[in-house]
Amino acid sequence: MSSSSTNRSVLIFGGAGFIGSNWADHLLSKTDANVHILDNLSRAKVENNIRWLRSRRGAASRLKITVADIRDARSVAKAVNGASEIYHFAAQVAVTTSLEDPRTDFEVNAGGTLNILEAARQSGNRPFVLFTSTNKVYGKLGAEQDGPSELRCTSESQPLDFYSPYGCSKGTADQYVHDYGRIFGIPTVVFRMSCIAGPRQFGNEDQGWVAHFVYSALQGRTISIYGDGHQVRDVLAVRDLVRAFAAARENHKTTGGQVYNIGGGAANTISLLELVKTLERALRVPVRIRFRPARPGDQPIYVTDFGKFREHTRWEPERSVQQTVHDIRQWYEENQALFVPTPFRVPSGKLPTEIVREIAS
């Protein structure tokens, strides 16, 4: 256990989710940091991540859970008070949802982020703040390249182009986080992330597509592909992302105030159709797909240039796409009970919110 984490008070907004729970587990198992999670538990099945974290070594004395929403400025300010590090993962995560309800998308992603930044500023503690942004801030981008050998990686110098309400709300938050670092001297770090995948990801067709493809193939369900299936992404294993969080914090004198593109890079690219073929080989079963019209704002090609972050921290990905797919499959096979549809029944005399609070306490 690292001695360098002594007196660390870590606050994770969205800590019950896929990325947040993996980061919280790292902190509980690899450091002696006190970990405080604030999450509204609105994402399907994340209560299982809370139960899992509660069972981890050190959780009894070092893990605190608060059920609240980042749109509640008072709850945010109370949580931020005394935190030495803040990791902001809470978000509305789907482009499709942002098209259906742009206002809520903005209130969560932009308004919630401003609540966190203001709480950090007013605390007077100048906590380290890391925010997970998205490659969607670069807009639709182009499809000028013809094959993986010619893929152009996107660096931080790529002009911003907020294409879709989701891109606008995350881009607004992205810029606020960056500017609070410059104007108020808070050591902020922005990660503009590509496709993150790995265990504990309850993926669906709107978000977490690699996990969604794996689960659908294992369950014999038809996968909908929007567009021609030749869209290319670079995939980063969540365990490598956790290493990037640790590297950013350990090198905070360099990373503070910076924006980084984070992803699997050119060595970890795959198209939707290539992933289908990979799953067919791995599972030895045909994977059923159906094609649907392309969705607005979808990037035909996105590959991360993480050279700036590598230069500042010496970090680079370690796990391949194939290893990441194997990790997801193994976790699914060990946790199939979490994927069995069960009707939700509210115990007599209790509201759903009361049950949620029982899970967290």
- Is 206 among the domain residues? no
Question: How long a stretch of residues is the chain?
Answer: 361
The number of folded domains in the chain is 1
Q: For residue 42, give every residue at least 6 positions away whose Cβ sits within 8 Å of its Cβ, in sequence order, or none.
A: none
| Burial category of 157 from C-beta neighbours within 10 Å (exposed 0-12, middle 13-18, buried 19 and up) | exposed
Alpha-carbon torsion 332, 327, 50, 38, what sign?
Answer: negative
Residue 97 lies in domain: 9-196+238-265+305-319+352-360
What's the pTM? 0.91
- Among residues 138, 163, 166, 302, the one annotated as catalytic is 166
Binned average pLDDT, 10 residues per bin, the chain of 361 residues: 65 97 97 97 91 91 97 98 97 89 97 98 96 93 51 93 92 98 97 96 87 95 95 96 98 98 97 96 91 86 97 98 96 91 48 49 55
Q: Are residues 82 and 147 in contact, defined by beta-carbon separation less than 8 angstroms?
A: no
Segment holding 181, helix H or strand E: helix 165-184
CATH number at residue 145: 3.40.50.720
- Is 105 among the domain residues? yes
- Is 16 among the domain residues? yes
Q: What angle do CA 195, 120, 165 make, to 5 degrees?
A: 40
- Is 141 among the domain residues? yes
- Is 136 among the domain residues? yes
- Is 259 among the domain residues? yes
Active site residue 138: no
- Is 211 among the domain residues? no
CA distance 47 to 260: 31
- Is 223 among the domain residues? no
